[in-house]
Amino acid sequence: EKADREKQINIVAANCVMNQKTQASVCTKDVVLTQGTLSIRADKLTVRQDEAGNQYVAGNGGPVRFRQKMDGGNDWVDAEAQRFDYDGRTGILKLIDKAWVKRGEDQIHSDLITYDLNNEAYQAQSKPESGGRVNIVITPKKAPAP
Amino acid sequence: MLFRKSLIQEMSWVALGAFFVLLMLIMTTQIVRLLGQAAIGALASSAVWAMMGFAAVRYLPILLSLMLFFSILAVLTRLWKDHEMVIWFVSGRSIHNFIRPVLEFTLPVVILIALLSLVLSPWALEKGQEYKEKSLSRQEVTQVAPGVFRESPAADRVYFVENFSGGNGNNVFVQVRRDDKLTVILAEKGGLYLDSDGSRWLWLAKGKSYEGLPGTASYEMLEFENARLRIEAGENPRSSPSTQATSTMALWNSSLPEHKAELAWRLAIPISALILSLAAIPLAFFNPRGGRASNLLVAVFSYFFYYNCINIAQAWLSDGKVPAMLGMWPLHAAALLITLGLFAWRSKLRGH
Amino acid sequence: MSLLSRYLMRELSLFILFALIGLLGLYTFFDLIAELTDLGVGGYRLSDALIYVALRAPANAYELLPIAVLIGGIFGLSHLSGSSELTVIRASGVSLKRLLLWLCLIGAFYGVITLLLGEYIAPAGKRMANQHRLAATQSMLVGDFRSGVWIKDGKQIVNIGEMLPDLTVVNARIYEFGKTLTLDRVIEGHNGRFQSKGNWTLQKATITQFLPEHAGVVLTKPAVFNWQTSISPAMLAVLLVEPAQMSATSLLSYIDHLKRNKQKTSRYELALWGKLFYPLACLSMVLIALPFAQTQKRSSNAGVRVFIGIACGLVFHFANQIVVYLGDLYNWPPPIVVAIPTLLFLSAAGLMLWRQERR
Amino acid sequence: MPGTTRLLPLALVVLLGSLTWLLDRAASLPGSAVAINANQPDMLVDKATAVRFGEDGRPLSLLTATHVSHLPAGDITWLENPHLRYTAPDQPRLEVTGERAKSIKQGSEVWFPGVVKMVRSASATQAELTINGRDMRVLPQEGLASSEAPAIAVMGTYVIESVGFIADSKAETLELKSKVRMSYEPIRTR
């Protein structure tokens, strides 16, 4: 949900190092970041906040797992990837290496998925050299029960 | 042999009297010096009497030698003055007959002088110094008197207490020097005390201490309600024993000119005592008709001249001007020759 | 001074002089031995030691004169009574009182000599001796403590490391206090020279200033610093000599300084009173000599009486010194402390004379 | 009575013997006072305020305590109710308050056992940091404060709980050793 971005951010981790000069915190081992409905589980997470308050989060894991509730409805988006990079200012989340996103029934697997949290649209690219396959499974939405 | 016994007996009495007077004399001046030191805290007041004892042992050899010379001189002069000498000469005694009784009277004392000068005096000097240092370091507690600056034995602490009321000082000033750091402490009240297990404390109330390296700004200032500082016993370094305090054996083995000079000096005391005692006989010649006390003056002058020669010889020996092997023997030989000369002159005079 | 009293004076003076020379000889001998240990220190030669010992002679004389008067007096008087001249004098109508008067005159004469010695000659001699010795051994004049001389002057406590013979000071450190037991400044000067009354100049000075309320420490290193103080070189010189050897005038000025700085003055007051009463000692010595000397020639114990006389005199002199020390220790009022032994002995001598006369 | 001729030597020997014996006895003083055992305190101060000035003469550290005791062994100083304020030019002001403190190596390392509160004032680039924890070790010169025990740190909007931390004023970093729970409000500019 868009509203998440205003919410308080909580990080739980085994170890964190905060650097005030760069306003960046690097947390490692069993890191769980939650903000509103968004939750990210990763092995390593770097969080940075700029003066405007935009969060820049990056990290990796084996894999990194995302979960966020969709706006309006109680559908959840789940995603996984080896590495990810989120740019709060643009609202773009990049999932890299063995990335897949599952929204409702739709699923998408790819080497690189770019998910735009603003309009909840995502775009998948495969890495040309690896001949990766982009595998998209769209499941029609069932009409809401009358 | 009434002659021998009466002579020795009289000399003994005069000697004892002279000894007491000389000892009292030395003690008077020593006491002044020691009390002066005690007054400024350079010497523990409890140690004054013991230190006087040590000073006595140190001066005894010279005192005894002076006593011998004076008593022989006094008795023989009396004999001349009371014309008893003439009676002895008439009855066949000559000046040489006095040598045996004088020797009999002098030898035991000379041996005693040798013992003192070679063994006891150095011991007394060394022990005295050690005792002084030990008693000083134990005495620091009673040392802080009001209105007077006091320095601790190891000279690393200086105290000044403005005035005393009820046993503790008001307006206390302490300067402590440790390694190159200097600390100044000021307090409204302060004092020294011994705690149960015998270590010594300086307590201070409502004060400030400034500690730092002189000449730099990095100071540390401490303000306190009250403070207690333990004072280590001044374990000042063992000062190396001066040549005068080293044992005779050590002097004998060492080849240092100063040590040889000191050894020669210590030997010179008994030897000179013996020679001077013999010289006293002819020196005591007193011509009732002639000059009144002129011969006494000559005798005293010769005594001190001989002794000062010994001192000067020692100075030359320690400077190496005179070879150590030679020592002071030529000086003693000369003195002996003069004495024999005096005997010859006196008996010749008597013989005409 | 009638012929007879002049004769008495000459006769006694001969013996007193003789005793003084003997005693002085003994003391210079001891001084020389003490000096020998320092030979070779910084080029200290034998001739310097001899000069030093010679210059100290007046100070020794000052200390020994009373005893010399005693011993000379006893020997002189017993010599006179021995040759029955004393009895002749008494027989020729000289009453005991007149004889005592003459003796007092002689005693007073020697008392004046002691005063002169103690006031001018001895201190000057001692100062010259020290200065000579310092120049010879190139060592510095240091006070009683190894940390140098300490003086309190108003709001300053001053520590002078050493003082050179030319009265300049080395390693001076001055603690300057604020109102309530706070240290305002520490002024350190490598060497200092007296300029005029009330101020010295310190070369290579370092001033450490403590700002109030722990605000900070300000360090300044002026090449020359003008140090305001009432301390004078004379006062420093005074501190380097034991009280007993100071002249009365310098004692007086120093006591006044101590009083102004709430410092204990008893040690110096005792020395001052001691100096004033000391000449009196000669007088009492002469009077003590008389009773001991009045004996018949033949009596066996003539020697013993002389010996006892000398012993008593020595005890008196010894007591004099001890009393001064005890006075300082227990803070007894100086004038009384100093007067007791002298008065005691005078009365004892008087009593013996009176008893002897009555018999 | 031995021959009176032997009177003098006898008298002198007796005098000498007794004098030497007396001196030996008088001089056999026990050793100097009880040896100072190093683990007994050699300085005790109540209500102390210690200010240390830096080379530039400006106050560097201010330490107050209700009771201070110094042990010569290891040159250790124990303080009760210590409050340390460290104001070095090259780092933000550091204030540490605790129940007890043990200062070693002339105050270059101070150990605060028990409950401790540390406040590092804000600087141009970092917000004020307050840590409430236990058993904290502070090295003022290096601007380091660390602990192995649980602590709660508040820095600006960040609230951090952890077990063990290292706060480095000079590098402006705060490392949280384990069991980290951090939360903060994103800066709202809109």
**How close does chain B come to C115, measured CA to CA in Å?**
19
Cα–Cα distances in Å, from B224 out to B209, B334, D79? 8, 74, 13
Token pair in block for residue B185:
């402490």
Which of B228, B231, B277 to probe the D interface (max D CBs under 10 A)?
A: B228
Q: Which residue of C has its CA nearest to B312?
A: C46
For residue C216, the chain D residues in CB contact (below 8 A) are: 53, 57-59
Cβ partners under 8 Å of residue D54, min gap 6: B217, B218, D60, D88, D89
> Residues C139-182: pLDDT tens digits?
555 556 777 888 888 788 899 887 776 778 888 899 998 877 78
Instruction: Indicate if the alpha-carbon torsion angle B21, B23, B29, B32 is positive or negative.
Output: negative
- Determine whether the interchain pair C216/D53 forms a contact, defined as Cβ–Cβ distance below 8 Å: yes
Distance CA C146, CA B162 (A): 21
Distance CA C171, CA B159 (A): 19
CB D51 within 8 A of CB B78: no
- Determine whether the interchain pair C183/B158 forms a contact, defined as Cβ–Cβ distance below 8 Å: no
Distance CA B242, CA B250 (A): 12
Token pair in block for residue B207:
């004060």
Cα–Cα distances in Å, from B219 out to B186, C184, D55, D59, D75? 15, 13, 9, 9, 18
Q: Residue-wise pLDDT tens for chain B (352 aa)? A: 567 778 888 888 888 888 888 888 777 777 777 777 776 666 766 777 778 888 888 788 888 888 888 888 888 877 777 777 777 777 777 777 788 888 888 888 899 889 888 888 888 888 887 777 777 666 655 555 667 787 776 677 888 887 765 556 678 888 988 878 899 999 988 877 777 776 778 889 999 999 988 778 888 899 999 999 887 654 444 455 567 777 788 888 887 787 888 888 888 889 999 988 888 888 877 655 555 566 777 787 788 788 878 888 887 887 777 777 777 888 888 888 988 888 887 777 654 3
- Determine whether the interchain pair D57/C216 forms a contact, defined as Cβ–Cβ distance below 8 Å: yes
Give yes or no for C33 touching D (CB within 8 A): no
Closest-CA residue to B200 (of D79, D30, C145, D32): D32
- Determine whether the interchain pair D179/A19 forms a contact, defined as Cβ–Cβ distance below 8 Å: no
Cβ partners under 8 Å of residue D84, min gap 6: D61, D62, D63, D94, D95, D96, D97, D101, D110, D138, D140
Of A14, A25, A49, the CB nearest to D186: A49
- Residue type at position C6: R
**How close does chain B come to C145, measured CA to CA in Å?**
6
For residue C213, the chain D residues in CB contact (below 8 A) are: none
> Residues A26-46: pLDDT tens digits?
999 999 999 888 889 999 999
- Determine whether the interchain pair D185/A8 forms a contact, defined as Cβ–Cβ distance below 8 Å: yes
- Determine whether the interchain pair A20/D176 forms a contact, defined as Cβ–Cβ distance below 8 Å: no
Phi/psi of residue C275, nearest 5 degrees = -65, -35
Phi/psi of residue B99, nearest 5 degrees = -65, -45
Cβ partners under 8 Å of residue A139, min gap 6: A104, A105, A106
Distance CA D153, CA D135 (A): 15
Cβ partners under 8 Å of residue A111, min gap 6: A96, A97, A98, A99, A125, A126, A127, A130, A132
> Using CB atoms and an 8 Å cut-off, which of residues 27-56 of chain B contact chain D?
49-50, 53-54, 56
Chain D contact partners (≥3 CB pairs within 8 A): A, B, C
- Determine whether the interchain pair B21/C314 forms a contact, defined as Cβ–Cβ distance below 8 Å: yes
Chain C contact partners (≥3 CB pairs within 8 A): B, D
**How close does chain D come to C217, measured CA to CA in Å?**
4
**How close does chain D come to A101, measured CA to CA in Å?**
26
For residue B318, the chain C residues in CB contact (below 8 A) are: 36, 39-40
CB D166 within 8 A of CB D151: no
- Determine whether the interchain pair D53/C219 forms a contact, defined as Cβ–Cβ distance below 8 Å: no
What is the Cα gyration radius of chain B? Answer: 29
**Contact pairs from chain C to chain D, CB under 8 Å:** 13
**How close does chain C come to B111, measured CA to CA in Å?**
22
The pLDDT, as a whole number, for residue D46 is 93
Q: Residue-wise pLDDT tens for chain C (359 aa)? A: 577 778 888 888 888 888 888 888 878 877 777 776 666 666 677 777 788 888 888 888 888 888 888 888 888 877 777 777 777 777 777 777 777 788 888 888 888 888 888 888 887 887 777 777 766 766 555 556 777 888 888 788 899 887 776 778 888 899 998 877 788 999 998 888 888 888 889 988 899 988 888 888 888 998 889 988 888 777 776 666 666 677 788 788 888 888 887 777 777 887 788 778 777 777 777 777 777 776 554 455 566 777 777 777 777 777 777 777 777 767 777 778 778 877 887 787 778 777 777 76
Give yes or no for C223 touching D (CB within 8 A): no
The pLDDT, as a whole number, for residue B238 is 47
Distance CA B281, CA B75 (A): 10
Strand partners, C173: C159, C188
- Residue type at position C160: I
Distance CA C156, CA C188 (A): 13
- Residue type at position C338: V
Closest-CA residue to C55 (of C139, C154, C124, C151): C124
Cβ partners under 8 Å of residue C241, min gap 6: C123, C126, C127, C130
Q: Determine the distance from the C-alpha atom of residue C109 to the mean position of all C-alpha atoms in its chain, rounded to a whole number.
A: 19
Cβ partners under 8 Å of residue D37, min gap 6: none
For residue C218, the chain D residues in CB contact (below 8 A) are: 57
Give yes or no for B135 touching D (CB within 8 A): yes
Distance CA B68, CA B52 (A): 23
DSSP code, position B241: P
- In this structure, whether the domain defined by D2-28+42-184 belongs to CATH 2.60.450.10 is answered with yes
Q: How many CB atoms lie within 10 A of CB A129?
A: 7
Strand ranges (DSSP E) for chain A? Answer: 9-13, 15-19, 24-35, 38-49, 55-69, 76-87, 92-103, 106-116, 121-125, 135-137
Strand partners, D181: A12, D161
Instruction: Indicate if the alpha-carbon torsion angle D128, D134, D140, D142 is positive or negative.
Output: negative
For residue A16, the chain D residues in CB contact (below 8 A) are: 160, 162, 175-176, 180, 182
- Determine whether the interchain pair D48/B222 forms a contact, defined as Cβ–Cβ distance below 8 Å: yes
**How close does chain D come to A63, measured CA to CA in Å?**
21
- Residue type at position B344: A
Distance CA B120, CA B125 (A): 9
**CB neighbour burial string for D34-67, b if at least 16 within 10 angstroms, e if fewer:** eeeeeeebbbbbbbbbbbbbbeebebbbbbbbeb
**How close does chain D come to A8, measured CA to CA in Å?**
5
The H-assigned helical ranges of B236-293 are 248-253, 257-283
Pairing of strands D76-80, D83-86: unpaired
Token pair in block for residue B39:
């007054």
Give yes or no for C219 touching D (CB within 8 A): yes
Cβ partners under 8 Å of residue C60, min gap 6: C24, C27, C28, C31
Whether D and C touch (3+ CB pairs < 8 Å), yes or no = yes
Cα–Cα distances in Å, from C1 out to C9, C10, C106, C286? 10, 12, 11, 18
Q: Which residue of C has its CA nearest to B310?
A: C33
Helix (H) or strand (E) holding B231: strand B219-231
Which of A11, A20, A26 to probe the D interface (max D CBs under 10 A)?
A: A20
Q: Which residue of C has its CA nearest to B150?
A: C145
Token pair in block for residue C83:
């040759």
CB A53 within 8 A of CB A65: no
- Determine whether the interchain pair D19/B57 forms a contact, defined as Cβ–Cβ distance below 8 Å: yes
For residue D53, the chain C residues in CB contact (below 8 A) are: 216-217
Residues of D with CB under 8 A from a CB of B: 3-9, 11-13, 16, 19-20, 22-24, 26-27, 29, 31-34, 36, 40-57
